[in-house]
Structure 1
Amino acid sequence: LKEVLGRARFLKSIQCKHDEGLVLVKVYFKRGDSSDLREYERKLARIREVFSRIENPHVWPFQFWLETDKAAYLLRQYFFNNLHDRLSTRPFLSLVEKKWLAFQLLYAVKQCHDNGICHGDIKCENVLVTSWNWLYLADFASFKPTYIPHDDPSDFSFFFDTGGRRRCYLAPERFYEHGGEIQVAHDAPLRPSMDIFAVGCVIAELFLEGQPLFELSQLLAYRRGQYDPSQHLEKIPDSGIRKMILHMIQLDPDSRCSAESYLQSYSGVVLPCYFSPFLHNLYSNLNPIVPDSRVAMCQLSFPEILRQMLNTNAGEETVVGQNFSTNVKDRILVVEH
């Protein structure tokens, strides 16, 4: 054990040392109940198995878990930065870096939803960022309730208020009223539209320099139609980004689009055309190779990177981008061997 992280009540996060590096262990202390955790274990195993088949993943599931008489443990590799930390760390993110992270977050959610997995607790603390701005979505909350009461903040504090800052990323429809017309089960299936709302909140925080779009009281007021977040979003100069965020956080969940739809609709409007497929394919090929090979690949790719960034012909980008970075990687592998 090295250090206790955060102030979460439901799961305690502990940074530990392992022979292969640092790991993050999340601990659930059993509270005198005889809960059967086997169903949650099956969900974790399914998520890990499904994500293991994804090529160039932006998702990072729990890698190991263990249950004892007194506690249950979830383990994954430790990352130095999550998005919340990165937003307050120098050098501060440039505009294009923020757009690149927003693109990757949408791509991560697309990978989840394409494989029938919903996250359930997307927030800045669960968005992990490497030193070269490759993004992973982690800490999938298959064991947290889908719905919580709107008039009992203790449930929100216990399950979702990780840092005690009252920031809220939950979709309004996840709050229910006791004795209301619509009865819901706490463990009802998550819906992709719930994740999309949370993504909108995270992207807003990204472009608001770390300021949250909603605190819990504001989210509940927004749910009642008594709060307008568009005024807060006016601090973002780019009207396209504001429009995308407002579309993601609509009160009507059926009006929100899929992650793939946002990637397509806002390509060339908010997200530069060269992000996909060219730049994403290039980064994907850089990811698994050693540092010296990365440098060599960047050197060989540099003329094409400039051409793609300066090119306005989106159709040509798509054709070239699908093949170029793979061809460069093949040339580097030949040199290495």
Structure 2
Amino acid sequence: MSDGFKRDYQVIEELGRGRFGIVFRCISRSSGGNYAVKIIDKRRISAGDSLDAECLVNETKILHLLYPHPHILALHNLYEDESHLHMVLDLCSSSDLHRRITLQIFSEAEAARIMSQLMHAVAHCHRHGVAHRDIKPDNILFDEWDSVKLADFGSAEMFKQGEESMTGVVGTPYYVAPEVLAGKDYGEKVDVWSAGVVLYVMLAGFPPFHGESVVEIFHAVLRANLRFPSRVFHSVSPSAKDLLRKMLCKDVSRRISAEQVLRHPWITNYVENMAETELG
């Protein structure tokens, strides 16, 4: 561990392991606050794909650019020595959305709460010219107050406003937008599509476009034949289905933006109901 990190933080326990590093819970020696630290072995990255090193550098730059936002995982400190990189991040000790989805179908109120917070994060990214490009339940974390934190900007890319200037197939099969798979240049609305898939999964318990293999999933995404099976969606409101149709629209010019998602009645009604509940 770097001397600077050891001076400022005390490691408490291991939280998880990834391809290139280990995540620990740590405590700030000055404030006593709890954080997560991602300790990355730079030697393992340099021995592997140079793209991984580029993604790591890109992620730290983008997290600095987007800081602060209540629904984006914050990078609080960065320490580096010859062999390791220490990224001090928000601690999200609650289960991620992927784990929650495996346990339950969400009520519309709870799905709207999560979607509202997620889309505030996405809209903030887009205003700063950043596309996340890998929105999925695994990257939607929750802090100790059960507030959404969008994480993992390793696939994120800067884009020019009003231009479809990004290329490359990135993302996760069930959640990737059709224009990404089509091999065309694309814009930030790929994130709206992915978030739409997340919303569908929260309400249905399964993805809208699926198959027995990755190839079959990709074909289903490219067809983009959106259906609402009555056995699952009979109790889902017309407003929720309308939002899903507008987010999961194959025609990018007709797909709504992140800001428009936040203005959709299904989201605004939830926000208004929450405000009334809090006022008593």
Structure 1 equivalent of residue 220 of structure 2:
222
Distance in structure 2 (CA, Å) of the matches to 1:146 and 1:73:
30
Q: Which runs of 5+ in 1 are unaligned?
A: 149-155, 162-166, 185-189, 283-300, 307-337
Structure 1 equivalent of residue 5 of structure 2:
none
> Quick one: which of 173, 176, 194 aligns to 1:170?
176
In 2 relative to 1, CA 13–220 (structure 1 residues): closer, same or farther, beyond 3 Å?
A: farther
Alignment of 1:128-147 (within 5 A): 128-142=141-155, 147=168
| Amino acid paired to 1:235 | V
Question: What does the per-residue CA deviation read over 1:107-133, in whole Å, with 9 as the maximum and x for residues that have no partner?
Answer: 221222122222121111111224544
In 2 relative to 1, CA 73–258 (structure 1 residues): closer, same or farther, beyond 3 Å?
A: same
| 2:204 equivalent to 1:195 | no
In 2 relative to 1, CA 243–217 (structure 1 residues): closer, same or farther, beyond 3 Å?
A: farther
In 2 relative to 1, CA 41–99 (structure 1 residues): closer, same or farther, beyond 3 Å?
A: same
Structure 1 equivalent of residue 61 of structure 2:
45
SS in structure 1 of the partner of residue 98 of structure 2:
helix
Q: How far apart are residue 208 of structure 1 and its match?
A: 1.7
| 2:122 equivalent to 1:123 | no
Distance in structure 2 (CA, Å) of the matches to 1:95 and 1:137:
20
Identity, in percent, stands at: 20
Structure 1 equivalent of residue 250 of structure 2:
251
Question: What does the per-residue CA deviation read over 1:258-278, in whole Å, with 9 as the maximum and x for residues that have no partner?
Answer: 1111221x22xx2353615x8
User: Aligned Cα RMSD in Å?
Assistant: 3.8
Distance in structure 1 (CA, Å) of the matches to 2:60 and 2:230:
36
Structure 1 equivalent of residue 161 of structure 2:
none
> Quick one: which of 27, 30, 45 aligns to 1:30?
45
CA contact (8 A) 2:106 2:202 kept: no
Distance in structure 1 (CA, Å) of the matches to 2:251 and 2:84:
39
Structure 2 equivalent of residue 260 of structure 1:
259
CA contact (8 A) 1:171 1:194 kept: yes
Q: Which deviates further from its counterpart, 59-68 or 250-259? A: 59-68
Say how many residue pairs are matched.
248
Q: How far apart are residue 31 of structure 1 and its match?
A: 4.6
SS in structure 2 of the partner of residue 27 of structure 1:
strand
Alignment of 1:47-126 (within 5 A): 47-52=63-68, 54=69, 57-66=70-79, 72=85, 74-80=87-93, 81-88=95-102, 93-126=106-139
